[in-house]
């Protein structure tokens, strides 16, 4: 509760660079505005809206999605605590997709000026913000690969692997256990399959002793095995720091 507002964000950025205490303070105070709350399954921003500030997720999970005329819906991205949704998105005049709350979400909306002020703190912060949007783009590319080339079991495993690594980067995993507040229908919309087939694949991963999953409690029983099934290579997350993996940073 009393964690500084940019706690998760800083945890993530730490994988790119090391900030001075002043920089950390500045980032924290920029993010210290009054938090907004989106109720579960409500939208933060809807397609067609004029973008306002940049949402920074403090607590809860959000997701971007796009709906086709005939109702089919694709989840385009998942956002965990510490994620900035679309820095500089306000340059575009209209949202071309929506952002919704998967769980209840606490967030702040950074203004364009706040972002600019942060960037003006110096090259380290400036680059860290760029790093943030570049890694977001890299994740989007990987989702493209996932949907285009992997089969159902691989796609699902890959998504689980990505979530594990991303949750670890913001300190939200306990060993190989974490909370995954997604329904199988959500997974279906994210991986381009039907809920029925997601269920089949979940069963398959369970029977191979790769995962345990009940309610929101998720555990990777064999992360290496899961990565193998998914052909998961975490390089695209760009979480290693100058070649050393973060673990080495203590």
Q: In this structure, are residues 28 and 5 in contact, taking their beta carbons and an 8 Å threshold?
A: yes
152: partner contacted, choices DNA, a second copy, none (Cβ within 5-8 A by kind): DNA
- Among 54, 20, 15, which Cα is nearest to 36's? 54
- 76 in contact with a second copy (CB under 8 A): yes
196: partner contacted, choices a second copy, DNA, none (Cβ within 5-8 A by kind): DNA
> Which residues in the 186-245 window bind DNA by CB under 7 A?
192-197, 199-200, 202-203
Q: In this structure, are residues 79 and 64 in contact, taking their beta carbons and an 8 Å threshold?
A: yes
Q: CB neighbours of 226 closer than 8 A, spacing ≥ 6?
A: 157, 160, 161, 205, 210, 211, 220, 232
- 131 in contact with a second copy (CB under 8 A): yes
Stretch that binds a second copy, among 3-11, 183-191, 197-205, 207-215 (CB under 8 A): 183-191
> Which residues in the 137-156 window bind DNA by CB under 7 A?
151-153
Considering beta carbons, is residue 46 or 72 the nearer one to a second copy? 72
Q: Give the 3-state secondary structure of residue 94.
A: coil
Tell me how far, at minimum, the Cβ of 154 lies from DNA, in Å: 8
Q: In this structure, are residues 156 and 231 in contact, taking their beta carbons and an 8 Å threshold?
A: no
Which pair of tokens denotes residue 36? 């907004």
Stretch that binds DNA, among 46-54, 81-89, 111-119, 179-187 (CB under 7 A): 179-187
Q: Distance between CA 187 and CA 160 in Å, rounded? A: 10
124: partner contacted, choices DNA, a second copy, none (Cβ within 5-8 A by kind): none
Can you spell out the DSSP letters for 164-227?
HHHHHHTT--BTTEEE----HHHHHHHHTS-HHHHHHHHHHHHHTTSEEEETTEEEES-HHHHH
- 36 in contact with DNA (CB under 7 A): no
Tell me how far, at minimum, the Cβ of 172 lies from DNA, in Å: 20
Q: Distance between CA 23 and CA 118 in Å, rounded? A: 9
- 247 in contact with a second copy (CB under 8 A): no
What count of residues does the chain have? 250
114: partner contacted, choices DNA, a second copy, none (Cβ within 5-8 A by kind): none
State whether the Cα torsion 25-31-32-33 is positive or negative.
Answer: positive
- 152 in contact with a second copy (CB under 8 A): no
- 97 in contact with a second copy (CB under 8 A): yes
Which residues of the chain form contacts with a second copy (CB under 8 A)? Answer: 64, 66, 68-70, 72-74, 76-77, 86, 88-89, 91-94, 96-97, 127, 130-131, 133-138, 140-145, 147-150, 189-192, 231, 235-236, 238, 242-243
**Residues of this chain that bind DNA (CB under 7 A):** 151-153, 183-185, 192-197, 199-200, 202-203
């Amino acid at each position: 509760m009393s964690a500084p507002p940019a706690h998760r964000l800083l945890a993530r950025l730490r994988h790119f660079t090391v900030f001075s205490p002043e920089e950390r303070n500045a980032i924290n105070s920029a993010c210290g505005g009054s938090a907004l709350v989106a109720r579960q399954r409500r939208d933060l921003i809807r397609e067609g809206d004029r973008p306002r500030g940049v949402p920074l997720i403090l607590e809860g999970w959000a997701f971007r999605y796009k709906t086709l005329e005939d109702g089919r819906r694709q989840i385009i991205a998942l956002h965990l605590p510490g994620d900035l949704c679309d820095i500089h998105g306000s340059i575009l005049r209209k949202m071309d997709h929506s952002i919704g709350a998967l769980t209840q979400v606490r967030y702040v909306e950074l203004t364009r000026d706040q972002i600019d002020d942060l960037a003006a703190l110096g090259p380290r912060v400036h680059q860290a913000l760029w790093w943030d949007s570049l890694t977001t783009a890299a994740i989007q590319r990987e989702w493209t690969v996932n949907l285009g080339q992997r089969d159902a079991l691989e796609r699902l495993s890959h998504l689980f692997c990505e979530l594990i690594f991303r949750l670890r980067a913001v300190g939200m995993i306990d060993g190989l256990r974490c909370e995954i507040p997604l329904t199988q229908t959500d997974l279906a919309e994210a991986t381009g399959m039907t809920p029925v087939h997601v269920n089949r694949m979940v069963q398959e991963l369970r029977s191979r002793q790769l995962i345990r999953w009940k309610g929101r409690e998720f555990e990777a029983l064999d992360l290496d095995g899961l990565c193998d099934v998914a052909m998961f290579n975490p390089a695209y997350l760009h979480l290693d720091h100058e070649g050393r993996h973060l673990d080495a940073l203590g």
